Amino acid sequence: MSLAENLRTVRARIDAAARTAGRAPADVGLLAVSKTWPADDVRVLAAAGQHDFGENRVQELLGKAVDLADVDLRWHFVGQLQRNKAAAVARTGAVVHSVDRPALATTLDRAAQEMGRPVEVFVQVDLGGPEGEAAARGGAAPVAVPALCDTVAGTAGLRLRGLMAVAPREGDPAPAFARLAALAERVRADHPEAGELSAGMSGDLEAAVAAGATLVRVGTALFGARPLPCGEFEEHQPRESQQ
């Protein structure tokens, strides 16, 4: 199928998942994860009505931000972020989904204040892997998340949008997303402005929407199987099919 047809299919999945969960489809947004795919593909999806795009490598984000400066879209950074590259990401205006430690929040806050405009961020939660061990894709331990959210909310330059997480690679994602939803509810009690939840990918977006996700991050179902390995945020093979 064409990219535009893929987009219609993914949006139909999101709408159906929202209705099944008793939610309004308009309450769930789509982030197209365009990592490894060329700027021309982003242009095609943007022309079809897609506004938000995500990258997980700093150099690729910077390059596409320049190449696509003439297109009305919003960038998101979904990869693990080193402090020495945080200012460069902030300057693109990207929403940062992977704040997982106070030091990174401090660095982004400094960059935002120097630019004179806020940086919108999500705090990333480590939902763990098999047997409960820490996942390899980053994130703060759930017990540390409320304090980290307090730190972010207390800065002058950052705007806390909510939480982000990736489900464990193996097993049913629903229990992990349920834990995430409970943690998000606790965070919202302290920070009502942090009402968003970035969760769900090509293979598990329905489970994420059922748990309250307000933004799903989809790559494979939009662009196809990636031609190259993409590091820490490669979408895992789903329990059924990503196509």
Distance CA 157, CA 137 (A): 26
H or E segment to which residue 134 belongs? none
Please tell me whether the overall predicted TM-score, pTM, comes out greater than 0.75 for this model: yes
pLDDT of residue 137: 64
Q: Which residues of the chain have pLDDT under 70?
A: 129-137, 226-243
What burial class does residue 211 get, using C-beta atoms within 10 Å of its C-beta: 0-12 exposed, 13-18 middle, 19+ buried?
A: buried
What pLDDT is attached to residue 134?
53
Give the whole-angstrom CA distance, residue 108 versus residue 31: 22
Cα 204 to Cα 192: distance, rounded to the nearest angstrom: 27
Indicate the DSSP class of residue 242.
Answer: -
* Residue from 196, 204, 197, 107 nearest 152 by CA: 107
Fold observed for domain 3-224: TIM Barrel (3.20.20)
- For the chain, what are the domain ranges? 3-224
Give me the residue label for tokens 């207390």.
154
Q: Distance between CA 172 and CA 31 in Å, rounded?
A: 23
The residues, ordered by sequence, that sit 6+ positions from 127 with a Cβ below 8 Å of its Cβ are 135, 139, 142, 165, 166, 167, 168, 176, 179, 180
One-letter amino acid of 165: A
